[in-house]
Amino acid sequence: MIKALIFDFGGVIYKTKWKELNDFFLKKNGFSIALQEGDKELIKIYNNSDIGKEDFRNFFFKIKPDISDIDRILKDYKKGYARFKILNHELLKIIENLKKKGFMLFGFTDIKKEHYEANLEAGIYDSFIEIFASYKFGCLKSEKEAFEKLITELKRYNLAPQECVFIDDHIPNIRNADSFGFKTIHYAEFPSVELLKKKLNEILSKSD
C-alpha cells in the first residue's frame, strides 16, 4: 500500500529562471554570476556546495576576491533565487489534494544550503513533512548512497521503499530509486501534469 510520495523540486515543482536571477544580481552588485563552460574551478565550487563539501561563499569570492560584505551578497542572491522561479501550479494542486487524502509528502532534492534556505523562506516546502537534501546527505541522488540514507531517514516514519512513490525528472535518479524498491515516476513534461496524473493514478489504484 502506498503511504507516501517523495518529490524532486527543480524541474518538477519549479524551474529557476537563471538568466533573470543573474540580471537581478548583476544590477544589484555589479558583477555577473553566470557560469561559463570553461570555468572549471568555479563550476567545481558550485557543484561541491550541493553536497556540503564547499562553502558557497567561496563561489562569490572566486569571481570577485575583494568582496567586503559577503552576507549582503548572499542575501541578494537568495532573494533572487526565491523570486525568479516558474512554479508548477497544477502539480502543487495535486500535491495539496494528496495531502488532504492523508498521504505523507516528502521532498528529496539535490540542493545547496543557500537554495534550500531561500525555498524554505519562500514557503515552497510548506506542504511537505520533511525535505531530504543533498547538502545534508553529502551526496547526490545519482549516487546509490543517497538512497541508502533516504531509506534510513524514512524508517523514522515507519516507511519502507515499497510504500513510497518517488517522482523525479532525471533518469539516473529514477534508476537508483527503482533498484531500492521505490515505485517511481519519471516526470519530464513540466509544466504539464496529464501524464503524471495518469501514472500516479495507476500506481495508487494498484496499491489499494
Is residue 58 a contact partner of residue 101, using CB atoms and an 8 Å limit? no
Q: How far apart are CA 70 and CA 60, in angstroms?
A: 8
Is residue 127 a contact partner of residue 6, using CB atoms and an 8 Å limit? no
Record the pTM: 0.97
Residues 6+ apart with CB under 8 A from 183: 2, 162, 164, 165, 166, 203, 207
Fold topology of 4-15+86-207: Rossmann fold (3.40.50)
pLDDT digits (tens, 9 = 90+) for 108-160: 999 999 999 999 999 999 999 999 999 999 999 999 999 999 999 999 999 99
Alpha helices (H) in 32-137, listed in sequence order = 40-49, 57-63, 70-83, 89-100, 113-121, 134-137
